Amino acid sequence: MTIRNTLPNTLTVFMLVGLLAGCASSSYVTTNPWSGSPNGTTSGSSTGKQIASIALNQIGTPYRYGGSSPSGFDCSGLVQYSHAQVGINVPRTTSSQYNGAMRKNNPQVGDVLFFKIDGRVSHSGIYIGKGKFVHAPSSGKQVEVTRLDNVYFHDKLVGLKRFY
């Protein structure tokens, strides 16, 4: 075995160790990105609670790009469906939802959260209280509950809006 043969393997090992160390040591905010309570407001109107409850009932539903029914949801489809069940018309796409809702400062159950991913607002979920939201994450996954201080989402939150 020569140095020439082992050098690529050695470099690969060092790169993997560095990558894993970086992931393990990454710090993230453990509080809500809004000022005030670390977990956000758990109160909400009865409409907001109904919206959140409808979305929570979809946990386990498969992600389906363009989906907006219990047979499969994408993120904006889940938001649209949950609002429609209480008689609120919401635009279909995340960007249209982001532009069409009323901006709010303090989260309440049922509010819609918007996330900027890859330079554009492209993901949404419904706030359920105590620093958590329900959403349809991505292909191959199912509707689930995620914490706002999740390492992936904590620094991508760009908006909190309400449609009622």
Contact indicator for 93, 101 with CB cutoff of 8 Å: no
SS3 for 69? strand
Sketch the domain layout of the chain as residue ranges: 30-162
Contact indicator for 72, 142 with CB cutoff of 8 Å: no
pLDDT given for residue 64 in this prediction: 98
Contact indicator for 105, 72 with CB cutoff of 8 Å: no
pTM of the shown model: 0.74
Rounded Cα distance between 72 and 105, Å, is 31
pLDDT given for residue 101 in this prediction: 83
Tokens linked to 48 = 């907001």
Residue written as token pair 């982001």: 98
Strands 102-103 and 72-73: unpaired
pLDDT given for residue 43 in this prediction: 61
Topology (CATH level 3) of domain 30-162: endopeptidase fold (from Nostoc punctiforme) (3.90.1720)
Q: What is the DSSP string of 31-67?
A: S-SSSS-TT------HHHHHHHHHHHTTTTPBB-TT-
Contact indicator for 142, 60 with CB cutoff of 8 Å: yes
Residues designated catalytic: 75, 123, 135
pLDDT given for residue 36 in this prediction: 35
Contact indicator for 47, 163 with CB cutoff of 8 Å: no
Q: How many CB atoms lie within 10 A of CB 29?
A: 13
pLDDT given for residue 13 in this prediction: 38
Proportion of the chain in helix, strand, coil states, percent, rounded to 5: 30, 25, 45
pLDDT given for residue 28 in this prediction: 29
Q: What is the rounded end-to-end Cα distance, in angstroms, of the chain?
A: 70
The series of mean pLDDT values per 10 residues for the chain, 164 residues long, is: 48 36 28 38 80 99 98 99 98 95 89 96 98 98 98 94 94
